Structure 1
Amino acid sequence: MSRKFTVAICGGGVGGLVCAVALSRYPDIQVDIYEAAHQLAEIGAGIGMWARTWRIMQQLGLDRDLAGIAKASSDMQPQVSFHFRKGDQEEGKDFYTLVTPGGMIPFHRPEFQSVLLRHVSPQCRTHTSKRLKSYTHLPIGHGAPSTSPITLHFIDGTSASCDLLVGADGVKSATRATMVRELASQAAAAGRHDQAEELQRTQPLWSGIYAYRAIIPMETLRMQSPGHRLLTDPMFYFGKDTQLTTYPISNGTILNVAAFHTQYDLEDTKLDGSWTENIPREAVLRDFSEWEPEIQTLFQSIPQFNRWAVVTAPRLPTFVCGRVALLGDAAHAMVPFQGSGAGQAIEVSLRRD
């Protein structure tokens, strides 16, 4: 019996799990997922999905289970995705309604990841508490055949091998960092010194944006304001240097909230301190103190927010080097205002399976 082709996926988030589901269709491929956390936990807040990504869910056979945790149009007819409103004044003003095929399909990320985990092949092996430090392999043409294994080196001192590595290990990706060093070395050896220097400047940088995230039971807001528009309507609110996105998840039982404050002069800088931390409501209210009453009511329903520094990754000339590929934030960490980050990771997962 011939040895199976082995694929290592570093990172058990949405992109990594969709990649594992896609590869589960091929019995001659052995998939190993290496996750830095101590368990493949279903964590996070809301995630929006557009029609293009939903068609991929249908191709993978996930749509029936996903339809049980979110309402999705069967015919992808035009539907309201978001209402746009200027909110940084005493009385806000609606100014646009975004209509797209099928609308925006909202999920609670833990529920979405739970469906993905159920569809990963039982033959797929998962390894937790395995944070990648780097990888090594013998370059082709230096005594190594094209099938020589890739060796994964983990922070805990252990190692593993694979035939192909998918780096889905997030914006702090060790896969990306190792690939960039390899690409820079190749460019320097070929005399492309400007490209080698440019590659050395592709580390993730702060966008100058903080995201304040929270989820609350709809009943909590309903008790504060029984007729509040956010009980039913997905909304984009806009203000000077501020923005707020809200939409129902978990079949309308939970409200996903993401508020943003931008300091444009700090774009593409290094951020000192923690990228994430819990902060009290009062810290967020300082940035939204002039906003209309319905937003003040919303914030009064949220005792604590999780503050995230929005970090982006400069563009690389390629996301593939030999038998190593980048996926998701490891490849293209971006600001969240188009709601496309997870969708791109999902689409690339299918295209690379």
Structure 2
Amino acid sequence: MTVNSAARHLRVAIIGGGPGGLATAIALTKIPHVSVTIYEQAAVLREVGAGISIGTNSWNVLQLLGVADTLTSGHPTWAIINMNARSGEEIDRREKVRDETQRAPVRTQRTKLQSALLAHVEPGLIQLSKKLERMLDKGREGVELHFEDGTTVTADLVVGADGIRSVVRDTAWPGYELSFTGTTIWRTLIPWDDVKELDPRFGTTGWWHGTSSYVYFSPVGEGLWEIASRSWQDPALQSADKKSWGVPVENAFVESHFKDFLPQIQEALSRVPQGHWREFAAFAGPELAQLTAWDSKVVLVGDASHALSGAFGSGAGFAMEDGWILAQALAYWKNDISKALPLFDTIRLPYYSRMYAHLAAEANKRAAKLKALANPTYDELVRNRIITDGGEDMSWIYKNDIGAVWKDWVDTQ
């Protein structure tokens, strides 16, 4: 297929300055006749959280963006363990196949990824303290954006990169509803030297499971150690504030959820300095039939497009892939959004649909397995909830080569 039309000038507003928004900006600025502005609600651009995984899929898109060589820190995660947090039994261990032709999978600080991306964003593209309040569809004139500071701008294309609590999605898809999953996550980073003598296994990335909770430990490089602890309560009985994201929480409250875990785990939690924990309430939402709206003037990338609450642990990678594919589609169709955005849907929508289907199948299998257990013991309950791929090949996620995906589409035309 040959595209002959001349490229039109396109004004793009990206809502959100996280990895998805930054990656989208980097990719779009490589396209002629595209002007890009990132609108970020925070007064200071910084990541909220602790660690982040950079696997093969993320390295692939970082390479395409020209960012891979800028991200140099992190802890290699060749081995992943799943442990019984009360007995200390190792239930599952995965050793990743080492390929010297590829970069090592790492766990690193979220701020390191953001800094690497920021180094490749052209100066002047980011406007801070710009919290989106509402959007108006102005037809052929574009989309009018209204911010809480009273300012307005008009864009030809709005990219919703504003996360699982997306204002862009809530405006353009007004019937979409998030629900509290029942899971609350507490995250922090502390010096590895503060805990390394407690248990040698703490130096290996992994999960330590209870029956309805777990703690995740991992080095993240530069002498730091990550803790991500989770506890689940029946969402029919417990509620959470949708806006509760990265708020401080008392140490004693976090520690109270893990009193039946091994002494060394409890001791590690107790060594977190006061005021260092941040709480995140996990929300999720249903699958979308389209990732584009308003006659191809609005598109969602990253968590805004698939509200799965980090189910696959590679959300930044997915968001960066979205941004790169969006840029390729626009370049291919010479900035014609009426053709480029349906193409974006064609490539990315089945990918996220497959994720939803996988999670539903896994939930059904676990429920069936639990139902088959008569009066299950603590250890049986722990084994039943261990993070697993069910024996399925998950390379379609963790080894996804988004560049090859795009080439395959072009080759079919």
Relative to structure 1, the CA distance from residue 220 to residue 248 in structure 2 (aligned partners, 3 Å threshold; closer, same or farther) is same
Displacement, 1:30?
Answer: 0.9
**Other-structure match for 2:73:** 69
Write the distance in 2 (CA, Å) between the matches of 1:258 and 1:226.
17
AA aligned opposite 1:125: L
SS of residue paired to 1:52: helix
Displacement, 1:4?
Answer: 3.7
Listed as ranges, the gaps of 5+ residues in structure 1 are 73-78, 182-199
SS of residue paired to 1:295: helix
**Other-structure match for 1:324:** 298
AA aligned opposite 1:245: Y
Write the distance in 2 (CA, Å) between the matches of 1:227 and 1:174.
44
What is the RMSD computed on CA atoms of the aligned residues? 2.3
Q: Which of these residues, 9, 22, 27, is aligned with residue 17 of structure 1?
A: 22
Displacement, 1:287?
Answer: 1.3
Write the distance in 1 (CA, Å) between the matches of 2:75 and 2:204.
14
**Other-structure match for 1:187:** none
TM-score, normalising length from structure 1? 0.81
The answer to whether residue 225 in structure 2 is matched with residue 229 in structure 1 is no
Displacement, 1:294?
Answer: 2.2
Displacement, 1:270?
Answer: 5.4
**Other-structure match for 2:318:** 344
**Other-structure match for 2:281:** 309
AA aligned opposite 2:171: T
**Other-structure match for 1:76:** none
Displacement, 1:108?
Answer: 0.5
The answer to whether residue 179 in structure 2 is matched with residue 174 in structure 1 is no
AA aligned opposite 1:130: K
Taking the TM superposition and a 5 Å limit, the aligned residue runs for 1:1-353 are 4-66=9-71, 68-70=72-74, 80-87=78-85, 89=86, 91-101=87-97, 104-122=105-123, 125-139=125-139, 144=140, 148-181=141-174, 200=175, 202-222=176-196, 225=197, 228-230=200-202, 232-251=203-222, 253-266=223-236, 271-272=240-241, 275-276=244-245, 277-304=247-274, 305-321=277-293, 322-353=296-327
Write the distance in 1 (CA, Å) between the matches of 2:239 and 2:199.
43
1:205 and 1:271 in contact (8 A); partners too: no
1:51 and 1:101 in contact (8 A); partners too: no
1:207 and 1:311 in contact (8 A); partners too: yes
Relative to structure 1, the CA distance from residue 92 to residue 39 in structure 2 (aligned partners, 3 Å threshold; closer, same or farther) is same
2:198 and 2:268 in contact (8 A); partners too: no
Write the distance in 1 (CA, Å) between the matches of 2:95 and 2:199.
23
1:48 and 1:107 in contact (8 A); partners too: yes
Relative to structure 1, the CA distance from residue 3 to residue 316 in structure 2 (aligned partners, 3 Å threshold; closer, same or farther) is closer
2:61 and 2:317 in contact (8 A); partners too: no
For residues 139-194 of structure 1, what are the alpha-carbon distances to aligned partners after superposition, in whole Å with 9 as ceiling and x for unaligned? 4xxxx4xxx3221111222100111110111222221111113xxxxxxxxxxxxx
SS of residue paired to 2:118: helix
Write the distance in 2 (CA, Å) between the matches of 1:204 and 1:96.
33
Deviates more, 1:304-313 or 1:152-161: 304-313
Write the distance in 2 (CA, Å) between the matches of 1:272 and 1:82.
32
Write the distance in 1 (CA, Å) between the matches of 2:287 and 2:128.
30
Poorly superposed stretches of 4+, deviation over 6 Å: none
AA aligned opposite 1:84: N
For residues 96-143 of structure 1, what are the alpha-carbon distances to aligned partners after superposition, in whole Å with 9 as ceiling and x for unaligned? 112335664212011110111111123x5211111111222234xxxx
Higher helix fraction: Structure 1 or Structure 2? 2
2:142 and 2:297 in contact (8 A); partners too: no
SS of residue paired to 1:111: helix
Higher strand fraction: Structure 1 or Structure 2? 1
Write the distance in 2 (CA, Å) between the matches of 1:287 and 1:315.
31
TM-score, normalising length from structure 2? 0.70
Identity among equivalent pairs (%): 30
Relative to structure 1, the CA distance from residue 101 to residue 61 in structure 2 (aligned partners, 3 Å threshold; closer, same or farther) is farther
Displacement, 1:296?
Answer: 1.5
For residues 4-43 of structure 1, what are the alpha-carbon distances to aligned partners after superposition, in whole Å with 9 as ceiling and x for unaligned? 4211100001111111111122242111000101122354
Write the distance in 1 (CA, Å) between the matches of 2:38 and 2:129.
11
SS of residue paired to 1:260: strand
2:301 and 2:322 in contact (8 A); partners too: yes
1:132 and 1:153 in contact (8 A); partners too: yes
1:248 and 1:254 in contact (8 A); partners too: yes
